[in-house]
Amino acid sequence: MLNELYTSDASLYEIIAGGRNFSAQISFLLNHYSKGFKKGKVKVSRSLELFAGPAWHTKEIKKHNFEAFAIDASNEMRIIACNDGLLKKKYYYISRLPNIPRIITKLSFDLAFALCYSIGYLSPLQLRKMLNHLSKIIVPGGMLFLELHDLNLLRKNLDDLKIKERIIYCQKEKSIKCVWPSAPIEWSNEEWVVQMPILIEVREGRKLVNKKNLISKEYIHLPSDFKNIAEETKLWEFRELTNFKNSFLQSKICVMEKL
């Protein structure tokens, strides 16, 4: 089941997760992917955002002359993403990954990305299935960018993660507090999977008007898992990226370049 934060409470997610520097993140990825991309160049490249949510990154990459597509399992997220008119509905597909809509499988892509730890919503088997699908639609030299958890932080219950607890002040004295995880992360003994308790509190002035306790179940996929898949399948070249100080905060950024 999808976390309700991505369905009935998708508008809460939009507020909680909206404070990142999407422009800097996309610029960092595009700097790495320099081939075929030059500022101001007329060539249109094609991108695919996986687990798009509000599709902030898709809207950002559109500014760089990309024909940008998005996939997510949540119809509520699609409504939010397309609400401001910056992304047309025909570019945002509802699909539960690793399933990729047939129409997308008929296109080829220069770039794909799965950001904000979202790849953790796939089991290892599902991940391999999705990478296999992507290997057929990403062009040689094209890249899949991934934002993964840092295992060191995860082991310490994300206590050192700056955004572990955040309070967003909205208009009319409304504030939203999110603590992720709000209690010790539960590690499975059977597989690389964790359950993260999430606390969300909505206040009007000092009055608590809404309180939610949710659970996010996430598989742990490490950079070394992708390195192994790249070596085993010989379909990709794996690299871990560094020097992204002002864009992605405290995560592991990896790229699978299609061979």
Q: Which residues in this chain contact ligand SAM in the complex, by CB under 6 A?
A: 2, 6, 17, 51-53, 72-74, 77, 96-97, 115-116, 118, 121
In angstroms, give the least distance from the CB of 179 to ligand SAM.
Answer: 16
In angstroms, give the least distance from the CB of 175 to ligand SAM.
Answer: 20
Query: Would you say 73 or 139 has its CB closer to ligand SAM?
Result: 73
Nearest to 227 by CA among 197, 256, 191: 256
In angstroms, give the least distance from the CB of 58 to ligand SAM.
Answer: 9
Reported for 198-202, long-range contacts at CB under 8 A and 24+ positions apart, including other chains, are: 198/5, 200/5, 200/9, 200/12, 200/16, 200/176, 201/176, 201/177, 202/12, 202/174, 202/175, 202/176
Contact 110, 46 (CB under 8 A): yes
In angstroms, give the least distance from the CB of 116 to ligand SAM.
Answer: 3
In angstroms, give the least distance from the CB of 62 to ligand SAM.
Answer: 15
Query: Would you say 32 or 203 has its CB closer to ligand SAM?
Result: 32
Q: Which of the 8 DSSP states describes residue 43? A: P
Q: Pull the structure tokens for residue 255.
A: 């790229």
What is the per-residue DSSP string for 122-180?
A: S-HHHHHHHHHHHHHHEEEEEEEEEEE--HHHHHTTTTT-TTSEEEEE-STTEEEEEES
Cα–Cα dist 158/251, whole Å: 11
Query: Would you say 79 or 235 has its CB closer to ligand SAM?
Result: 79
In angstroms, give the least distance from the CB of 53 to ligand SAM.
Answer: 3
Residue type, 132: N
Nearest to 181 by CA among 218, 149, 215, 210: 215
Query: Would you say 116 or 144 has its CB closer to ligand SAM?
Result: 116
Query: Would you say 16 or 203 has its CB closer to ligand SAM?
Result: 16
Residue nearest to ligand SAM (CB): 53
Residue 251, Ramachandran bin (φ over 0: left; ψ between -120 and 50: alpha; else beta): beta
Query: Would you say 17 or 138 has its CB closer to ligand SAM?
Result: 17
Query: Would you say 38 or 83 has its CB closer to ligand SAM?
Result: 83
DSSP strand pairing (193-204 vs 174-179):
antiparallel
In angstroms, give the least distance from the CB of 95 to ligand SAM.
Answer: 6
